[in-house]
Amino acid sequence: MEKRTALIAGATGLVGNSLLRQLLADDLYSKILIVSRRSISISHPKLIQQQIDFNEIELFKPGLHVDDVFCALGTTIKTAGSKDAFFKVDYTYVLLLGTWAAANGAGKFLIVSAMGANAKSGIFYNQVKGEMELAVSLLKIPQIQIFRPSLLMGNRTENRNGEKFAQAAMRTLGFLFIGPLLKYKGIHADVVARAMIAAAKEDSKGVVVNESEEMQSYKI
């Protein structure tokens, strides 16, 4: 199989960091380009880092063709500071990245969304995620893969006390989430990343939504 080039946005986050580690170890990918507002303290022969302003991503010229674009951008309202700031990261920046991917000939756009994403939801977080999914689904990219994980498990660099409590509870009670409840079981970021990379290697076309329970089979 011909070697591929991947771009990751959000490589400092939980899923993004796992994507970076797994793609660097994957022989199918010869170059991994990460775009971010700040550099990451990691070096690797396959790794290329570019600091960009996501507000002006249409001006970004990476100097190489990108086959697969992995988007793990995301924040919380608390971290962002306001609903408007949250919307900018989780909707605007994701859509701008997808628009850039389409304009630059990327064959695949793979996005981390969230379980419960629904543009008609009464919950602001889920509503924004749903609106983002609808918007990116209209992009002219051959393959668009959307991933809706439940509670993400793993060690974040940023402090999210509520999430830490939920993770601890899930580690204790996770065995109860079977059958119809599997969709609500916490899912490790490494599992989500593995599912995304597996999807990137598929030949499917169009828009595919991957629910949390479907990703659980990509165990670590």
Q: 218 an active-site residue?
A: no
Q: 185 an active-site residue?
A: no
Catalytic residue among 31, 93, 108, 129: 129
CA 104-105-111 angle, to 5 degrees, is 90
The answer to whether the CB of 142 falls within 8 A of the CB of 105 is: no
Distance CA 58, CA 61 (A): 8
* 180: its two tokens: 């119809």
Distance of CA 152 to the CA centre of its chain: 12
Catalytic residue among 46, 88, 125, 183: 125
**C-alpha closest to that of 189 among 149, 137, 131, 130:** 149
CA 96-99-102 angle, to 5 degrees, is 155
Neighbours of 63 (CB within 10 A): 7
Q: Which residues are catalytic?
A: 125, 129
